[in-house]
Structure 1
Amino acid sequence: MFYPAIRKVLFQFDAETIHELTIKSLKSTGKSPLNIFYKQQVQDKPLTVMGIKFPNPIGLAAGLDKNGECINAFDAMGFGFVEVGTVTPRPQPGNDKPRIFRLPQANAVINRMGFNNKGVDYLVSQVQAANFKGVLGINIGKNKDTPEENAKDDYLHCMRKVYDLATYITVNISSPNTPGLRSLQYGDALNELLSALKAEQSILAEKYGKYIPLTVKIAPDLSTDEVKSIAKSLLDNKIDGVIATNTTLSREGVEGLEFGTEQGGLSGQPVKDKSTQVIKTL
């Protein structure tokens, strides 16, 4: 209820600066009595997906808390699940700033962050410290300088690191801000990646005595035939779920707006129809 009152103030500052300040504030108050200022009592509306019981269907998507620093704070807000990441094997700074652009007239944002994160080992330390008992998704990706032909090694490395800590793991192959990443959504490249991850999932399930579902996050910029081809690969490899969708490269709905031609992925209201169409096809 406070947001409308402070939005005008927040929008006077650079978007990434506000994001960083928010993360720092939530990190420092997540386990303290100060979380009363954002703690919410949300009515349970449980549902079970992939064998996981979610207390309610509204969750926090990956991208806001890339390093898992604010898990308890977001839990206090009443989210039915918290997904952290995207995290890569090694720390990386991401793309040059500025890299987040608000388009308030369209209820949209363009970002070209580029998987900026502190690396999987740091995220693991944060998750362990949080001791979170809710539904936790961990979103994994590849480093920018990892060749496409070696991408599966990055995903396998991250999967091994986070398996015992996650409720489910998301394989991000759809960010438009890592060169070549979206090519992993197609044909042999996709099948080889999924096959390797599924085999590792079996090994890790036996090692830890529990089965952690795998989901794959796909792009909205796909034809009907491409979505069907991806769906077939997911089914053939017995992947547990699909997250539809990531941001779009389309600029439909933001034509003529300030920052509307900036490079990066467009999220918010303008991507709704594209995402919904992908879901419908799936």
Structure 2
Amino acid sequence: MAPTARCGPEPRRALRWVVGAARKHVRGKIGSTLRELRKASGKEAKAVARSAAMSASKLSRIETGKIAPTAMDVDRILTAIGVPDEVRAGIVETARREATEATAWRLYRRSGFHLHQDAIRAVEAETAVQRIFQPSCIPGLCQTPEYVRAILSTKGLTEQVLSQTIGARIQRQAVLFEPSKSFRYVITESVLRWRLLSPLAMAVQLDRLITLSRLPNVRIGVVPLSTHTAEPPSSSFVVFDNRLVIVEIPHAEVTTSEPRDVELYLDRFDRFERAALFGDAMREMAGRIRDEFFREQESAPE
């Protein structure tokens, strides 16, 4: 019989014991593992669910095995419980192997796009360094409300859900102003020129990008179209520290915490980062394109 783990002077020892037992005896039963870890921590389900940015009913369904959690779900739950980093990685990896790694966008529409934004915000809250390579649009944390609406309007959302999702994404942007966190973004020149909005709105969006690039913890680079690169830009991706990658493809979002996969995307990011312009050179390029949009707006017929 397993000893009863209580919230006492040695909660970490209880957590380690449960994790060890889970690895040996309940591989494939992620839900029950998470439930035992939560009980060992002494935390209530509602408190864990709130910290993990999910509903209490979803946490209950995960713990009872009624739904399979994604690797990101498991990572957020373990973080909310307070499981040490050295044991969290192994459980997340087990979840990654057992869960479906690709989540279709239609499933996010069904469960609520704004809730997905809350889930990403929870991951960002536990991330020290976020890296993004984006060949198709402005990174989400840098988008103006108008730009967010233009991006999400292709997802088939109702006006109510669209407004909720825009609000949730804007809320996420506050994390940019936390000096303890670092943001490294690389985009292509085509992102600056892609006309998702009116010329004036595009100029405002580029102005915001330039402003954010001056924050000491935000590093934004642009790969010029004239730059020779050994590989073409393809899908956008986000790397959270060196533990989690989210890749966006047309029909789905792919999540992986497999170390070899994470390393692959870190290497890919580094290659594009070396080809990018930063600092004043980036701001000069973005400023020229912004001014082109301003002039186009001014010359437009009334």
Pick the TM interval, shorter chain.
0.3 to 0.5
| TM-score normalised to structure 1 length | 0.33
Return the structure number with greater helix share: 2
Larger radius of gyration: 2
| TM-score normalised to structure 2 length | 0.31
Larger relative contact order (CA 8 Å, sep ≥ 6):
2
